[in-house]
Chains A and B, each alone.
Chain A
Amino acid sequence: MSVVFEQIFQVGFLAAIIRIATPLAFATLGEMFSERAGVLNLGIEGIMLLSAMTGFTATSLSGSLWLGVLAAVLTGALMGGVHALFTVALGLSQHVCGIGVTLFSSGLAYFLYRLIFGQQSVPPSIKGFETLPIPVLSDIPVLGPAVFNQFSLVYMAILAVPLAAFVLYRTPWGLSVRMVGENPRAADSAGVSVIATRFQAVILGGALMGLAGAFLSMVQFNAFTFGLVSGRGWVAIALVVFGRWDPWRSAGAALLFAFVDALQLRMQASGLGHIPYEAFLMLPFIFTIVAMAVMSRNAVAPSALLKPFRREER
């Protein structure tokens, strides 16, 4: 058994956790901003897939990785805008519209991908991002190679967490976001535009989901496949609850999920071969369900979540 543990807990293990957590962190922060403003975005799964596709395609056609990232972010923001249009401007059901955005985005992603690349025997791939060691810091034992010898998108995710917390808790805009998510009428009577603030938050959320998609197709897989996202968007929604709508806790939740996921990958590869690999695959999801069940008992969602705002309504 000790051999198994030695195999599991290597330096590479820590690096793997960070890599797995990165798209989840982007997606979770994106969903968190949206929900903090009172808008559940079930479009996340589809937005991530479509952004992964547009990012991959832009890079594949232009040869520029950062142009691909930009395309993915813009795609996410655009789809966030679409979701906001239906749920915020028109006040339609957030559940229905979110599922609609996911179905539409996924369908569009498949369609455009086929249209541009056709059906090739060898799926097209790109030369994705390479690791960018940070001088000095990457020489720290254990932590250095795991955290500071990563991809630039990983560094962005690490920076995004304190930045999101700062924006949410320390800026007037962040206060407006929290207020429209708690009591939009209070925000409205204080002269804050509820509609505009919600639009901005959902679009920002979409852009972050776009980054998550970009990471999947341009760092993790360097290709686009239809099963690319495989439930990471749904997991992010659970992680927002697990993280109690707080940037730090949400990032922590993403790390915890990534830890379980990395663990099961190692367990699959290790000497526990007599157990079917599907059993390991289930672990992070079982973990999510259990964590949700335990944590969501005390979690209090933003009061105005799911509630459209109309001024005339009394």
Chain B
Amino acid sequence: MSTPAPLIEMRGISKSFGAVKANEAVDLSVAPGEILGLLGENGAGKTTLMNVLFGAYAPDAGEILVQGRPVTINSSADALAAGIGMVHQHFHLAPRLSVLENLLIGIPGKSGRIDRAGGLARLDEIGRQHGLALDPDLPVSALSVGEQQRLEIVKALFRGARLLILDEPTAVLAPTEVDGLFSALRSMATQGLGIIFISHKLNEVRALTHRCVVLRHGRVTGRVDAPASTTSSEMARLMCGHEIVPPARGPSTPGAAVLILDGISTSRHSGMPLRAVSLAVRAGEILGIAGVSGNGQRALAEVISGIHAPDAGRMTIAGKIVSRFSPREVQALGLGRIPEDRMTTGLVTNLPLADSMVLPRIGTGAFSRNGLLRPDAIRAFAAEQIKAYDIRCPGPMTRAGALSGGNLQKALLARELAFDPKVLIVSQPTRGLDIGAARFIHEKFLAMRAKGCGIIVIGEDLEELLMLCDRIAVMYEGRIAGTLDSAEATIARLGLMMTGAEGRA
């Protein structure tokens, strides 16, 4: 017997956007029962390649074969018909419709009506086959992020997908949920499905995949046949083209507390409110806040940033009690802030970069005089920071929204660090950034730490927190479930605390 034809084969795929070659002569194949890792930095062309496979873009050259037969995929409908399903990074679900309705969208009905009974039967069957159970009549908005992802997977299987593409599926999951996802994916693979797994997290790729393809600048730069026995640094080298050494965190010599929260509680907050949160950050210390998203991190960040006043409790910045809780007040006391969502609360995407870079200090003497802006000073400041932080852009008057994520994050960092904050609060500092840009951000944090700044990093990436932080506090249901020194913290232990299983450490 000959080896079975690959489930999917992409041959010589090229795709350009203007002068940018997003994909160049990429070959890729997935056999039935195989889990293929697709690795690459941001902008390496992973998403473009998958969008070609899923019918969002037509390739300039190359062909796609499904079980040995050439196919043309011009739309997601074509891709679904060819047995290709995709779980996007941002879920494609309608939150107010039910689980079943989200499943049945685009499925022809029975004699003009929605085939509810048939849908329920299929949902039940898929749920039992792969351990992906879901309540059909709940609205999607009532599901956890992990369950929504499960629904996306079920949706693809429901449509008869034999190849499943997952774009950064673990970015939104807690460690325990990752285990559940992996066992479901392994179950699908043993039943002959093919899986393409896109991730930045090399240890996950090594744990899950059978084989890896590495993309850089749109080309295949490496193939890894035995991911489990290949080191992460070897894979990182394939992705970046050079060695990446994680920055070394020296011993810390923390000083006095620069930020103290004492019994802070909130209500009327969209999302999880805070319940008697007390914590302290000392000068020259990085405190990590771990937790599954939605456990009060946003409320915490907003209280510290002065966006929301708490109902109870006291906050002190550099020895002074915060009284009014306005962003301007906390900033004047020495707080710098890098928000979670760069595009919506970080800067103004339709204005020039220079304007966004001075926005929090627009009324200060540095940038305005007698109630009028000083455009020259603003532009000079931005130009200086662009140079200092190596922000890749045509100039200070570039529209901020046109910058890549890594450059935006650098701009936000430059904006805060230029004024030597005593305390810095950052949320998800490297989400969506590639290894190189993340490395740059980490180095800056460590440099600030050495200068005696107290830093709070709210994050979901435990490896990042372990590498960066001196202490890690875990939030669970609006409380601090416990705080660990980095020396005694492990992923397993933090993961347990994140699910509320372990109380005070």
Contact = CB atoms under 8 A, between A and B. Distances in A.
Nearest to B106: A190
Contacts of A188: 76, 92
A188 B88 CA distance: 12
A311 interface: yes
B95 A303 contact: yes
Interface string A297-308: 000100100000
Interface residues of B, number: 29
**Chain A residues touching B, majority SS:** helix
Contact of A187 (B54, B96, B105, B114): B105
A172 B108 contact: yes
Contact of B107 (A172, A182, A186, A189): A172
A303 B113 CA distance: 25
Interface stretch (A138-146, A173-181, A266-274): A173-181
Contacts of A189: 54, 76, 86, 88, 92
Given A190-B106, A191-B75, A303 B114 contact: no
Nearest to A190: B106
Interface string B96-107: 110001101111
Given A172-B104, A179-B105, A303 B94 contact: yes
Given A189-B88, A191-B80, A176 B94 contact: no
Contacts of A172: 104, 106-109, 113-114
Contact of B93 (A175, A178, A186, A191): A186
Contacts of B211: none
Given A170-B113, A182-B97, A191-B76, A175 B104 contact: yes
A190 B105 contact: yes
Contacts of B505: none
B76 A186 contact: no
A147 to B, nearest CB: 28
Contact of B102 (A174, A185, A186, A191): A186
Contact of A185 (B77, B92, B112): B92
B442 interface: no
Interface in B87-144: 88, 91-97, 101-102, 104-109, 112-114
A229 B75 CA distance: 44
A183 interface: yes
Interface string B208-248: 00000000000000000000000000000000000000000
Contacts of A131: none
A172 B118 CA distance: 13
A220 interface: no
B114 A170 contact: yes
Contacts of A191: 75-77, 80-81, 106
B114 to A, nearest CB: 6
A64 interface: no
Nearest to B110: A172
B155 interface: yes
B56 interface: yes
Interface in A149-205: 170-172, 174-176, 178-179, 182-183, 185-192
Given A170-B114, A175-B101, A303-B95, A187 B106 contact: yes
Given A191-B75, A191-B106, A192-B106, A186 B94 contact: yes
B101 A178 contact: yes
Nearest to B54: A189
Interface of A: 170-172, 174-176, 178-179, 182-183, 185-192, 300, 303, 311
21 contacts: A171-B112, A172-B106, A172-B107, A172-B114, A179-B94, A179-B97, A179-B105, A183-B94, A185-B92, A187-B106, A189-B76, A189-B86, A190-B92, A190-B105, A190-B155, A191-B77, A191-B81, A191-B106, A192-B105, A300-B96, A303-B96
